[in-house]
Chain A
Amino acid sequence: MRLNGVHIEDTFAEAFPMLGTRLIVTADTPAWAEAAVLSMTGFATSVIACGCEAAVERPLPPDETPDARPGAAVLLFAMSRAELAKQVARRVGQCVMTCPGTACYAGLRDGPAIPLGNALRYFGDGWQIAKRIGTRRHWRIPVMDGEFLCEATTAAVDGVGGGNFIILAADRRAGLAAAQAAVTAIRALPGAILPFPGGVVRSGSKIGGKYKGLIASTNTAFCPTLRGTAPVSLVPEGVESILELVIDGVSAEAVAAAMRAGIAAVAGLGAAGGVVSVTAGNYGGKLGRYQFRLHEVMA
């Protein structure tokens, strides 16, 4: 398949089931809401070493938040319900509750409950107050600037982690421009996030390595500098830079939609923009439950 002169390889992205949740963080100003969620989603690029994958889904205007203040929606994904609960409690406790003026609410309703305020209320040292408003229970935890208002629980959904596509570009500048175009397109969509810095990965990995105990090591087949020396190289002539976008979503449909939007944005720059081809990362289909075939996604 060719789109605007860009070769779309006939391959698939292999993705995995993850548990995810959405949180709504609000604050007095957009800047403080941003400060809270950037802190909360920091060091959350890969479950391999971070415990979870998380990113800001989108900023929220006051008319879309429960308390009529500016905020942001955040998606977090982990490999198990217990790990998701642990990460939610730690990150909200250390990064949101600590941030001046913030409040935190569940962004999903249906699904198994994940403790949110229920896990943080003990910080109130007995002075915390439960308040049911409508059908939703909240905790009011006294803090030094007033009260930290936090919904009691959020919900976990069966999400998908590891959706991806890989951009092969003529040089680093062209690759980065293509990746940024894809990031912009994907961030406009609901239900999916790009957990890596700026939404882009430059150090894609393969499973294991030559050193004992290594979980993952550099993806030698896609390292342009190893063409000719690595046992296997998938870097074609004329490609100097390769970047990957990893996508987590609340559903397979959300991941597919994000891949479609991202690849379309990359193809929009075309061969004239220095984009050579688009491929995807997989493990031969043996590890992940989900396979996103690029040709089907772009059909």
Chain B
Amino acid sequence: MSGVVLTPREPAGPPIDMTGVLPERLAEGGRDALAGAMPVRGRERHRLDALFTLQDGGPSGTLILRPGAAVLDGVGTGMSAGDILVEGDCGAYAGSGMSGGSLTVEGRCGAFAAAEMAGGRLRIAGDAGDFLGAPLAGGTRGMSGGSVTVAGSAGDRVGERMRRGLIAVHGRVGSLCGARMIAGTIVVGAGCGPGLGQAMRRGSILLSQALEAVPPGFVDGGMNDWLFLELMRRELTVGGAWPAGFPAVGTRARRLVGDRSVGGMGEVLILLKA
């Protein structure tokens, strides 16, 4: 059994909420079951095959989305297994609530990508919007597992209230990266906006560029060797998540500890090239 390629019949129009269009459905009930999914467009639910053409293609069990000009929200939302490949851009909520499987986006993603993600793997070849790995609106828990790699840049509040897992952004991140973070790891390849690690309790934020100033609430823990960075580099290099601007060898880093204004013991590690 091959995979299924979904192409919107009418790319122009309101966004399509793809919640429920998942590879698990294809694995369990085949193409007919997938065609029976009822995504929302505008104010109405439609059968999937009314909105998309379904063609065989790709590896077995894989969903391939070719959005073209259409805006697809909620791609991979709640996904627990299987693979989705998006040959283009995604709207909001890509991979939100995801607990397993792999979602690969060859373009950009909107806001709330990987929001409340609990497991699996999200790879974004372009940029990501705000609230990457953060809680959904009204939620209190951010990402709690899995890994996210963004080859481009990301918006504000990356990893807000993050509890576990890994977010690697090769480019810049916006303001309040890691705000109220509880645990987990955020890797930022380029610069970051204001409010870095604000009110973070635990967790690690890895940078490769010195900050203009120690963020408010943080104390300078000085330079040292951090052996776990070698393990981290090995792990992330294999997955392509170790940013190109990061040192390829060495474990020396400057450690900033905070946010002490909330009794936090989180860390910002600024890696230095050997």
A residues engaging B (CB < 8 A)?
66-68, 103, 127, 129-134, 138, 140, 146-147, 149
Contact = CB atoms under 8 A, between A and B. Distances in A.
B225 A146 contact: yes
B204 interface: yes
A127 B265 contact: yes
B232 interface: yes
A155 B228 CA distance: 21
Given A129-B202, A130-B183, A131-B204, A146 B235 contact: no
Nearest to B204: A131
Given A129-B202, A131-B204, A133-B232, A146 B164 contact: no
- Grouping DSSP codes into helix (H, G, I), strand (E, B) and loop, the A interface class, with mixed when no group exceeds half, is strand
Contacts of B185: 131
B231 A140 contact: no
Of B183, B224, B225, B231, chain A has the most CB atoms within 10 Å of the CB of B231
Given A129-B202, A131-B204, A146 B232 contact: no
28 contacts: A66-B231, A67-B227, A67-B230, A67-B231, A68-B230, A68-B234, A127-B265, A129-B202, A129-B265, A129-B267, A130-B183, A131-B185, A131-B228, A132-B164, A133-B228, A133-B232, A133-B235, A134-B235, A138-B228, A138-B231, A146-B224, A146-B226, A146-B227, A147-B224, A147-B226, A147-B227, A147-B228, A149-B228
Contacts of A138: 228, 231
Interface string B162-190: 00100000000000000000010100000
Contacts of A66: 231, 234
A72 to B, nearest CB: 17
Contacts of B226: 140, 146-147
A134 B230 CA distance: 13
Interface of B: 164, 183, 185, 202, 204, 224-228, 230-232, 234-235, 265, 267
Contacts of B231: 66-67, 133, 138, 149
5 smallest A-B Cβ distances: which pairs?
A: A134-B235, A149-B227, A67-B230, A133-B231, A133-B235
Nearest to B225: A146
A131 B204 CA distance: 9
A133 B202 CA distance: 16
B64 to A, nearest CB: 27
A60 to B, nearest CB: 15
Nearest to A126: B265
A134 B232 CA distance: 8
Contacts of A149: 227-228, 231
B256 to A, nearest CB: 14
A35 B204 CA distance: 32
A103 B228 CA distance: 10
A24 B267 CA distance: 27
B265 to A, nearest CB: 7
Of A67, A103, A127, chain B has the most CB atoms within 10 Å of the CB of A67
A140 B202 CA distance: 13
Contacts of A129: 202, 265, 267
A130 B202 CA distance: 10
B143 to A, nearest CB: 13
A63 to B, nearest CB: 11
Contacts of B227: 67, 103, 146-147, 149
Contacts of B202: 129
B233 to A, nearest CB: 9
Contacts of B265: 127, 129
A293 B14 CA distance: 78
